[in-house]
Amino acid sequence: MTRILLLGGTTEANLMAQAVAKAGLAGVYSYAGRTEAPMGQPIHMRIGGFGGVEGLQAYLAREGITNVIDATHPFAAQMSRNAVEACAAQAVPLMALERAPWVAGDGDRWTHVPDSAAAVDALAGPPQRVFLAIGRQHIDAFAAQPQHDYLLRLVDAPTGSLPLPRARVVVARGPFDVAGDTALLRDHATEVVVAKNAGGKGAVAKIAAARALGVPVVMIDRPRVPERRVVRTVSEVMAWLTG
Q: What is the binding site for ligand 3Y8 (CB under 6 A)?
A: 9-11, 14, 31-35, 38-39, 73, 133-138, 153-156, 173-176, 196, 198, 200, 202-203, 206
Tell me which of ligand NAP, ligand 3Y8, none is bound by residue 138, counting a contact when its beta carbon lies within the kind-specific cut-off of 5 to 8 angstroms. Answer: ligand 3Y8
Interface with ligand NAP, residue 51, by CB under 6 A = yes
**Cα–Cα dist 30/206, whole Å:** 27
Select from 4, 17, 41, 50 the one that contacts ligand NAP (CB under 6 A): 50
Which are the contacts of 218, defined by CB distance < 8 A and separation ≥ 6?
110, 111, 113, 119, 122, 123, 192, 193, 194, 195
What does 50 bind: ligand 3Y8, ligand NAP, none (CB cut-off 5 to 8 Å by kind)? Answer: ligand NAP
Per rule CB under 6 A, is residue 90 in the interface with ligand NAP? Answer: no
Residue 7 engages ligand NAP in binding (rule: CB under 6 A) = yes
CB 241 within 8 A of CB 25: yes
Q: Which does 7 bind (CB under 5 to 8 A by kind): ligand 3Y8, ligand NAP, none?
A: ligand NAP
Q: Minimum distance between the CB of residue 8 and ligand NAP, rounded to whole angstroms? A: 5
Cβ nearer to ligand 3Y8, comparing 148 with 196: 196
Residue 10 in the binding site for ligand NAP (CB under 6 A): yes
Residue 70 neighbours by CB distance under 10 Å: 25
Omega before residue 127 within 30° of 0, cis:
no
Tell me which of ligand NAP, ligand 3Y8, none is bound by residue 79, counting a contact when its beta carbon lies within the kind-specific cut-off of 5 to 8 angstroms.
Answer: ligand NAP
Distance (Å, whole) CA 75 – CA 55:
21
Please pick, from the candidates 4, 76, 97, 207, the single residue that binds ligand NAP as defined by CB under 6 A: 76
Count the Cβ atoms, other than its own, within 10 Å of residue 168.
Answer: 14
CA separation for the pair 74, 53 (Å, rounded): 19
Residue 43 within binding range of ligand NAP, rule CB under 6 A = no
**34 binds ligand NAP, rule: CB under 6 A:** yes
Residue 48 vs 125, nearer CB to ligand 3Y8: 48
Considering all CA atoms of the chain, what is the largest pairwise distance in Å, rounded to the nearest integer?
61
CA torsion 132-226-48-135 (nearest 10°) is: 0
Number of neighbouring beta carbons within 10 Å of residue 65: 22
Interacting residues toward ligand NAP by CB under 6 A: 7-10, 30-32, 34, 49-52, 55-56, 72-73, 75-79, 82, 135, 196
